[in-house]
Structure 1
């Protein structure tokens, strides 16, 4: 290594390796940030859909002629369409990423089946919905 011509290739190789590591780290960071945003949107949309389910159940209790609705939230909206007799489609989208929507098909129990549930199951469903509402409200 006492020759004058070996310093430049050594420096070039060293800089190339450092640049490769830096670019690789930047790509990993970018992918993790994109995944975090998608996960956050996923939970946000499912929370909005859960709140919309409660509203649809209330509207169905009032009137059985419910066909479609749009629920607007601070962070997005949920569109509800009647597909079959007791089946509804919920499509949730967020304001910050309208191209990433989630479609959920939900079947509601009729009154006889719903009243047959135990009070414990109703309380569990109620507490889960309230937790989702508080989570959305805190944002």
Structure 2
């Protein structure tokens, strides 16, 4: 059995609005990373996130709305709150996140708000209110 870090099970889906340098960084770390075609709707992106168990990385605040995207409709979301004109900062912050969150289970069902020097993890609410 391999003793490699469990990052191999992590899979990422980048929204079209994410700086391509983050994709290059993730791939350089050996992480399964994909970018879907630009014409895909947010709903289709969320469907891919669920069907492929990929963490959706986005700048789009729509994905933080649990009425639009409850946990049944999206696997996980990393909402980037770092200016896109600061790719070094984005990569540094994402690198820190990956040191602390190493498996898909660390992300599953969560909205992670990534700031310049920190991140916040919140469970994505379910669509069924009982």
Compute the TM-score of the two structures, normalised by the length of structure 1: 0.28
Q: Which has the higher contact order (CA 8 A, sep 6+)?
A: 2
Q: Which has the higher helix share?
A: 1
Compute the TM-score of the two structures, normalised by the length of structure 2: 0.30
* Larger of the two Rg values belongs to structure: 1
